[in-house]
Amino acid sequence: LKSHAYRIDARLYGPLLRLAQARDPRLLGDIRLVPRSSVPADWVILGVTDPQTGLRFGVTDAEREAYTYRHGRRRFYGEFYQPGSDSPLAGTSRARMPDLGTTAEAREIHVYAAPATAEVTDAHRKLRRYKRWDEIADKFRLPYFIVVIEAFNVWNEKRLFSKVFDNRSAFRAYAGAISASLDLLIASVMSVERVSQDIGKWQGLSTRLNKTFFSINRELIARYSPDLAKALPRVVSYRLLGGIVSGGLTMTLSLMDMAHEFDTGDSDAALAHGVSAVGGGMMLMSGLIFSSAASSGATVVLLGMGPAAWLGVGIALAIGGGIAAFILNDPPLVDWLKRGPFGAEQDDSYGHLAEDPAEAYYRLVGMLSRPRIVMKPLRNLPASLVGEGVLLSAVEERQLSRVNYQVRVENNLSSFLDESTLSCHLRLVSEVTRISNTPSSSGFPVTRRSVQDRSPKVLLEQPLPNGMAYYLTLPADETSARLFQTSITGSAVAVRAQWRAPWADNRHRYFPAPELDDGLVYNAAHHGQPDFMEENQPFWADEQTHRYKEDA
């Protein structure tokens, strides 16, 4: 036992502890179970008082302020009594308390105490500090997680901004961007406020957020709806105002999406967006009811439901409606059937298909034809070719034995069109993977990719019924080791492929085609050459977006 450290979780029984310490005085260090009135002045009562850490009656001043703030600044007023006795043991009125040094109850109270300089006291202080940081970390998780989600929403709105702007409306695009940015701002402010409460700084932030922005005349509202008047708070703070504006924007977006789906004939998805809008409204109302209940201290009920019920039902409807809208949204082929040459619905969202059968057929072929890029290492190509009945000379066999990689570019356009031309561009990619061996590192490899200006060496091009196969020679991997770091330099291939086909209107069409709701038109100046710095470039297939993995 002397050469090891053990962690023991136990409940200590006083008489048994004294008996055990009489057997071994080193047990639990300097902890002693002594009467409350006999604790020396330079000792601390573990878990109750400690002048060094500011611990009084089991909590510090910061913990006491945080508790009263979370509970609406309401303190406990009352007394605790010994069971079966009328003499109070503790209370909030000092005048009503007897002299604890002379009462029998005080003499009977025993506490665990230890010297302030003892090792066990220092360990207890560290335990409280570690526990406090664990609580802070737990509180950080939800606000920071929300910040990450809102940041992703901002990134997604930015990525889809031009598409929403062109296919729906400028108002919908800007409203989505403003709503996502506002949500990110509010989540960031809430995270900063939580940090300020935990570290005891920037306390003025909470005061500013709780300042009154405007007041609600509940007497006027009570003339029309007394229940609604009780549910609304008298004062709207800046904090509550941010939630109202954010919730209102979210509801507006859901209603706009509902109108769009109705306009495009997708009634089931429109209904789901409507449900999501109702859920957002209920969540907004729950915030108002919570604020009213916190300010008045009374239970508030509206339409038979309290604030928690409004919040729970609202969350369920908002999330459920959003998921249902995603699931029920018409697939592209159904949209084409509704708005193509045989469809009965024509609207502004698909104006590029109206009165243009050639364009409609082009989009149909674009949906049904799927570009596929297959990339895999290869060994002993000559043996495979000979097995297929190909005769190779000694020079060809020696040259093809250097092939170590295959790229196949395929598309089933030939099933729909009589003629199509493939334009394929390959670039060499350098991949450098670094693995740190320092004790402080995580040990996870970090890979950096850079596209080179030169193409890999193609030793053989093999036509396929639906595309082309390229056999390449890539440089071998190189490994270098330095102090605390191992680097592996490898090679890969970047692919850009485009198909061109003549069309019935004496024009050419290019594949892969844009999405059905995207009115983008091919422009040789912008789309004629591949951009290896951009993934999912319009009218070009690449190895990241269209890569297909074959089963082993």
Joined together, the tokens standing for residue 233 give 């708070």
What is the per-residue pLDDT across 77-129, written as a single tens digit (0 to 9) for each? Answer: 566 666 666 666 666 666 666 665 555 554 566 777 778 777 767 766 666 65
Q: How many CB atoms lie within 10 A of CB 503?
A: 14
Joined together, the tokens standing for residue 312 give 């729970």
Name 139's Cβ contacts closer than 8 Å, sequence gap at least 6. 194, 198
Handedness of CA 261, 266, 268, 269 (dihedral sign): negative
pLDDT band at 221 (very low <50, low <70, confident <90, very high): confident
Q: For tokens 């504006």, what's the residue?
A: 245
What is the per-residue pLDDT across 133-170, written as a single tens digit (0 to 9) for each? Answer: 445 545 555 666 777 888 888 888 888 887 777 767 78
pLDDT band at 16 (very low <50, low <70, confident <90, very high): low
pLDDT at residue 34 greater than cutoff 80: no
Question: What is the full DSSP assignment across 380-430?
Answer: -HHHHHHHTT----HHHHHHHTT--EEEEEE-GGGGT-S--EEEEEEEEEE
At residue 497, the pLDDT reads 92
The closest of 368, 356, 346, 341 to 504, measured between CA atoms, is 356
pLDDT at residue 470 greater than cutoff 90: yes
At residue 4, the pLDDT reads 46
Please indicate, yes or no, whether the overall pTM of this predicted structure exceeds 0.75. Answer: no
Q: For tokens 């002045």, what's the residue?
A: 41
pLDDT, the chain, mean: 75
Burial 114-147 (b: 16+ CB within 10 A, else e): bbbebeebeebbeeeeeeeeeeeeeeeeebbebb
Segment among 10-19, 491-500, 513-522 with least mean pLDDT: 10-19
Overall average pLDDT of the 52-66 stretch: 62
Decide if 103 contacts 36 (C-beta within 8 A): no
Burial 49-61 (b: 16+ CB within 10 A, else e): bbeeeebeeeebe
